[in-house]
Structure 1
Amino acid sequence: MSFVRTVLGDVSPSVLGPTDYHEHLFQVSPLLAGDELDDEASSRTEAALLFGAGITAMVEATPVGLGRDPAGTARISAATGLHVVATTGAHREAHYGPGHPLVAATEAELAARFRADLLDGCADFPAGIADGPAGSPGGGRTDLGPSGQPVRAGLLKAGIGYWSISPFERRVLGAVAAAHRETGAPVMVHLEHGSAGHEVLDLLDSDGVDPGRVVLAHVDRNPDPGLHVEFANRGAFLGYDGMARHRERPDSTLLDLIDAVCAQGMGDHLLLGGDVARRGRYVGYGGMPGMAYLPNRFLPRLRARLGPEVVRRILVESPARMLTWTGRTGAPGHQVLARGS
Structure 2
Amino acid sequence: MVRTVLGDRRPDLLGRTDYHEHLRHVSPLLPGEELDDPDRSEQEAASLSGAGVDAIVDLTPIGLGRDPAFLRAVSERTGLGIVMATGVHREAHYPQDHPVRALDERRLQQRFVRDVRESAIADAEPLAEPVRAGILKVGIGYWSISAFEARVLDAAAAAHAATGVPVACHLELGSAAWEASDRLARAGVARDRQVLAHCDRNPDPGLHAELAAAGCYLGYDGVARPKHWPDSTVLDCLVEVAARGGADRLLLGGDVARRSSYVSYGGMPGLAYLPERFLPRLRERAPELETRIMCDNPARLLAFAPR
TM range (shorter): over 0.9
The reply on whether 1:85 has 2:83 as its aligned counterpart is: yes
Report the CA distance between 1:103 and its aligned residue: 1.2
- Cα distance between partner residues in 2 of 1:188 and 1:260: 23
1:166 match: 146
1:301 to 274, 278, 281: 281
1:1-341 superposed matches below 5 A: 3-123=1-121, 138-144=122-128, 149-307=129-287, 309-325=288-304, 327-329=305-307
Report the CA distance between 1:143 and its aligned residue: 2.7
Identity rate of aligned residues, in percent? 58
Report the CA distance between 1:201 and its aligned residue: 1.3
Report the CA distance between 1:305 and its aligned residue: 0.4
- Cα distance between partner residues in 1 of 2:286 and 2:65: 38
- Cα distance between partner residues in 2 of 1:77 and 1:38: 17
Runs of at least 4 residues off by over 3 Å? none
- Cα distance between partner residues in 1 of 2:116 and 2:276: 33
- Cα distance between partner residues in 2 of 1:236 and 1:204: 11
TM-score, normalised to structure 2's length? 0.99
- Cα distance between partner residues in 2 of 1:143 and 1:70: 8
What letter matches 2:78 in structure 1? T
- Cα distance between partner residues in 2 of 1:211 and 1:104: 29
How many residues were matched structurally? 307
TM-score, normalised to structure 1's length? 0.89
- Is the 2:28–2:94 contact (alpha carbons within 8 Å) kept by the matching residues of 1? yes
For residue 75 of structure 2, give the secondary structure of its aligned residue in structure 1. helix
- Cα distance between partner residues in 1 of 2:113 and 2:82: 19
What letter matches 2:295 in structure 1? V
- Is the 2:44–2:271 contact (alpha carbons within 8 Å) kept by the matching residues of 1? yes
What letter matches 1:109 in structure 2? R
- Cα distance between partner residues in 2 of 1:313 and 1:256: 17
1:335 match: none
Report the CA distance between 1:11 and its aligned residue: 0.5
What letter matches 1:139 in structure 2? D
- Is the 2:261–2:269 contact (alpha carbons within 8 Å) kept by the matching residues of 1? yes
Report the CA distance between 1:85 and its aligned residue: 0.3
RMSD: 0.8
- Cα distance between partner residues in 2 of 1:214 and 1:315: 17
- Cα distance between partner residues in 1 of 2:41 and 2:74: 8
What letter matches 1:175 in structure 2? A
Seen in structure 2, the aligned counterparts of structure 1 residues 46 and 154 have a Cα distance that, compared at 3 Å, is same
- Is the 2:213–2:245 contact (alpha carbons within 8 Å) kept by the matching residues of 1? no
What letter matches 1:235 in structure 2? G
Stretches of structure 2 lacking an aligned partner (at least 5 in a row): none
- Cα distance between partner residues in 1 of 2:181 and 2:29: 26
Deviations for 1:86-137, whole angstroms, at most 9, x for unmatched residues?
A: 00000000001121110121000100000000111002xxxxxxxxxxxxxx
Report the CA distance between 1:328 and its aligned residue: 4.6
Q: Per residue, is there more helix in 1 or in 2?
A: 2
- Cα distance between partner residues in 1 of 2:219 and 2:93: 20
- Cα distance between partner residues in 1 of 2:234 and 2:131: 35
Which moved further from structure 2: 159-168 or 96-105?
Answer: 96-105
1:128 match: none
